[in-house]
Amino acid sequence: FFGTHFIMGGERFDTPQPESYLFGENADLNFLGNRPTAFPYPPPQANEPTKTLKSLVNIRKESVRFVKTMNDKKLGGVLEKPKMKEIDRDLDLDKEKSNVTIEDVDGNVLCSMGLGGGDADMTPPPPPCSYNIEFTFDSDAKCAITIYYFCSEDVSPSGVTLVPREGLTSETYHYEKGINQCFSQPSHVFNPQQMPEDELGYSPGREQYPVAIHCVVEEGSDECRQSHTTICVIDHHPENGSYVLRALKQKIFVD
């Protein structure tokens, strides 16, 4: 509220517009917050020059996902479903050596072996949860894509290097340039059920990424390779036993 007059130097001065700001324009009041500004006031930010980055590769973050593999056949180096006649024959040979139970769950043969003392109530292992990784990406140059698991990051002037734990990595897949390309490699299978639950998420203190999709440009100078890394975490849903791959953040390395 502004009065109709003010007193300065012992004299009274009438305000021609009672709603006007005494030492400025009314529009200046719009810049005031609902809380007083602490003194001293922060200095104004300098206008730093900006430069547009030219990224040759881009992984569409929202497209990264797990796709469950076929139930009756395991790909990527995992054995196919054996024939039941062969299983029965092996059971007869090893009958007296160990306690072996075999069940057919969701089309996958599960073998549970005990070390003596036949326990009829032994619970069979849960069905395997094997997944492929799929996503959509764009590339303006030839590129190489590798998936790393439980890896650390090393940044140098020549580019980004990811070091996985115990060789947990896929082979490197090469792609030509193009937009709206689909990464889908049925030969590469990952089973998150075999990993500790607390390592499926990201913790800054550990400096370890559960899943990292690394896309490196194969054209240009060999001294500095441009790359795009999508860092993902794995969410476990115990109610249905499923796992979901979720993109957490992305990093771009340019020269």
- Tell me the pLDDT of the chain averaged across its residues: 74
pLDDT of residue 127: 53
Q: Is residue 58 within 8 Å of residue 213, measured between CB atoms?
A: no
Supply the range of the domain harboring residue 248. Answer: 57-73+130-253
Distance (Å, whole) CA 113 – CA 103: 12
pLDDT band at 240 (very low <50, low <70, confident <90, very high): confident
Q: How many domains does the chain have?
A: 1
**pLDDT interval class at 99 (50, 70, 90):** very low
**Region of poorest pLDDT, from 45-49, 53-57, 154-158, 175-179:** 45-49
28: pLDDT confidence band, cut at 50, 70 and 90? Answer: low
- pLDDT reported for residue 128: 65
Residue for token pair 């998936």: 147
So what's the pLDDT on residue 196? 87
Residue 39 lies in a domain: no
Domain membership of residue 184 (yes or no) is yes
pLDDT at 131: 92
**190 three-state secondary structure:** strand
Domain assignment present for residue 235? The answer is yes
Domain membership of residue 178 (yes or no) is yes
Q: Is residue 111 part of a domain?
A: no
Average pLDDT value for residue range 58-62: 94
Would you say 2 and 19 are in contact if contact means Cβ atoms under 8 Å apart?
yes
pLDDT confidence of residue 223: 75
Lowest mean pLDDT among 9-13, 94-98, 119-123, 217-221: 94-98
The answer as to whether 139 is a domain residue is yes
Average pLDDT (59-72) is: 85
Q: Is the peptide bond before 40 cis (omega within 30 degrees of 0)?
A: yes
18 upstream amide cis, omega within 30 of 0: no
Query: 3-state class of 11 per DSSP?
Result: strand
d(CA 65, CA 136): 10
Q: Is residue 201 part of a domain?
A: yes
Beta bridge partners of 141: none
User: Token pair of 116, please?
Assistant: 């003596």
111-142 residue pLDDT tens: 332 333 444 455 444 456 789 999 999 999 99
Mean pLDDT calculated for residue range 222-247: 89
pLDDT of residue 81: 40
